[in-house]
Amino acid sequence: MTDLAHATRHIPDRLDSPARAALYSWPTLLLIVGIVLFIVNSLASPYFLSPWSLSDATFNFTEKAIIALAMALLIIAGEIDLSVASIIALASTAMGVALQFGVGVPGLVVIGILTGLLCGIFNGFLVTGLGLPSIVVTIGTMSFFRGISYIVLGDQAFKGYPPGFDYFGQGYVWWVVSFEFALFLLFALLYYVLLHHTNFGRQVFTIGNNPVAARFSGVRVERVKFILFCLTGLMSGIAAVLLTSRLASTRPSIAVGWELEVVTMVVLGGVSILGGSGTIQGVVIAAFIMGLVTFGLGLLNVPGIVMSIFIGALLICVIALPIIWSRTRRRATR
């Protein structure tokens, strides 16, 4: 290390080719899990492989997955939003109220999405403006947002959404491809580009890894985080439109417990809960895996609650196994 020879040395850009690196990555592991599940499912149930049942399978995860895309960015940046499901409830309630005033389909959609965005702004202000920890803030807003729904609705429900509104949650774009699913694929692509191919995405990773160094490097940390909260609110608003349209009704208990499912999806997708790393590919594959498990077991008449055991175990295993594996390997090489 002490030779001071000023020979210009060449440092290669990479040692592994990008393709090789991708091969050993988390999404690849997930993809294998996904394919195995797919095969097991198609062997276990003769109905599984029909295009229409596969299409049906997408409905049970697309809305959650749409939120998971934005949540992934938020968790990578070292924050979390536990109020997403409550934002759905509030946005859906806002649409229901607007419905009572005779607002048309385009108006309903705008109101749903805007409500989501406003909720995101509120969370973002509390976290970045006042410097509060996001986990408690969003536990608070989680009760608060859904609480407003309960105040408005009580044990009632809004029904009677106008014809045409059902398209968002029930319509098909082409053949078996539902509008929801197409929208999810579009957003997945957008978020992939945003996270992995823009300056903004790079800043998100930097903040998650080291917020102090990011700030010293001229990254406007608070602003980026604020935008992420807004995006998460916005996506929840969009999910609210889809879900309300699919169910054709609004109850205050809509989407209860989704926040934890969304977080599970994100963590399963390889995003570190401590922030700083993760991929959109991983989250998308994790969404499919969760969809496949739910749907496949559903075809075998396994109730939803049992599937949740599987999801929970999967979450712990995919995180614990690599740790155990690397430890035993380290011990072996010692």
Partner 1 sequence: MTLPQRKPESMPASSTPRITLSGITKTFPGVRALHKVALELYPGQVTALIGENGAGKSTLVKTMTGIYQPDEGEIRIDGEPVTLSSPHAAFKLGITAIHQETVLFDELSVAENIYLGHAPKTRFKTVDWGLMREKSGKLLKEIGAGHIEPDTRLKDLSIANKHLVAVARALSIDADVVIMDEPTAALSYKEIQDLFELMELLKKNGKAILFISHKFDEIYRIADRYTVFRDGEMVGSGLIADTNQDTIVRMMVGRSVEHVFPKQETTLGETVLTVSGYCHPTEFADINFSLRKGEILGFYGLVGAGRSELMQALIGITKPSKGAVRIGDDIAVIRSPAAAIENGIVYVPEERGKQGVVVDMPIVQNIALPSLRRTSKNGFLRLAEEFALAREYATRLDLRAASLSQNAGTLSGGNQQKVVIAKWLATKPRVIILDEPTKGIDIGSKAAVHAFMSELAAQGLAVIMVSSELPEVMGMSDRIIVMREGRIVTTIEKNDGFDAETLVRAAAGIGEKAA
Partner 2 sequence: MKTVIRSREFWLAAIVAVMVIATNLRAPGFAATDKLAGIFNDTAMLMILALGQMAVILTRSIDLSMASNLALTGMIVALINAAFPAIPIPALMLFACLCGLALGAFNGILIWLLNIPAIVVTLGTLTIYRGIIFLIAGGQWVNADKLSPAFVQYTRIEFLGLPALSWYAIIVAIAFFILMTRTSLGRAIYAVGVNPTASVYAGIDVGRTKFATFLISGLLSGFCGYLWVSRYVIGSVEVAKGYELTIIAACVIGGISISGGVGTVAGALLGALFLGVINSALPVINVSPFWQMAISGAAIILAVVLNARGEKRGSRLILREAEATS
Residues that bind partner 2 (CB under 8 A): 82, 126, 130-133, 135-137, 139-148, 150-151, 153-155, 252, 256-257, 260, 263-264, 267, 273-274, 303, 305-313, 315-316, 319-320, 323-324
Residue 312's binding partner among partner 1, partner 2, none (Cβ under 5 to 8 angstroms by kind) is partner 2
Which C-beta is closer to partner 2: that of 109 or that of 146?
Answer: 146
| Binding site partner of 200, from partner 1, partner 2, none, Cβ cut-off 5-8 A by kind | partner 1
Could you tell me the smallest distance in angstroms from the CB atom of residue 14 to partner 1?
A: 4
- Pick between residue 7 and residue 316 the one whose CB is nearest to partner 1: 7
Q: Which is nearer to partner 1, 73 or 241 (CB)?
A: 73
The item of partner 1, partner 2, none sharing an interface with residue 14, based on CB under 5 to 8 Å by kind, is partner 1
CA distance 49 to 165: 30
Spatial distance between the Cα atoms of 22 and 19, rounded to a whole number of angstroms: 5
Pick one of partner 1, partner 2, none as the site partner of residue 65 (Cβ within 5 to 8 A by kind): none
* Radius of gyration over every alpha carbon of the chain, rounded to an integer in angstroms: 22
Pick 213 or 320: Cβ nearer partner 1: 213
**Could you tell me the two tokens for 318?**
């995919």
In 3D, which of 232, 279, 212, 217 has the Cα closest to residue 117? 232
Tell me how far the alpha carbon of residue 53 is from its chain's centroid: 23
Residues that bind partner 1 (CB under 8 A): 1-4, 6, 8-16, 193, 196-203, 205-206, 209-210, 212-220, 276-277
User: In whole angstroms, how close is the CB of 136 to partner 1 at the nearest point?
Assistant: 18
State the binding partner of 213 from partner 2, partner 1, none, CB within 5 to 8 A by kind. partner 1
Q: Which is nearer to partner 1, 20 or 159 (CB)?
A: 20
Q: How many CB atoms lie within 10 A of CB 319?
A: 14
Q: Per residue in 103-120, is it b (16+ CB within 10 Å) or e — as a string?
A: bebeebbebbbebbbbbb
What letter does residue 163 receive in the DSSP assignment? T
For the bound state, the minimum distance from the C-beta of residue 70 to partner 2, rounded and expressed in Å, comes to 18
Smallest distance from partner 2 to CB 193, Å = 28
Considering the complex, state which of residue 182 and residue 311 has its C-beta at the smaller distance from partner 2.
311
Cβ within 8 Å of residue 43, ≥6 positions away: none
Binding site partner of 19, from partner 1, partner 2, none, Cβ cut-off 5-8 A by kind:
none
Integer Cα distance of 51 and 55 in angstroms: 6
State which residue, 201 or 296, has the beta carbon closest to partner 1. Answer: 201
Q: Which residues pair with 249 in a beta bridge?
A: 159
In a 10 Å sphere around its CB, with 0-12 CB exposed, 13-18 middle and 19+ buried, how is residue 79 labelled?
A: buried
CA distances from 35 to 27, 203, 275 (A): 12, 33, 28
- For residue 274, the partner it binds in partner 1, partner 2, none, with Cβ less than 5 to 8 A by kind, is partner 2
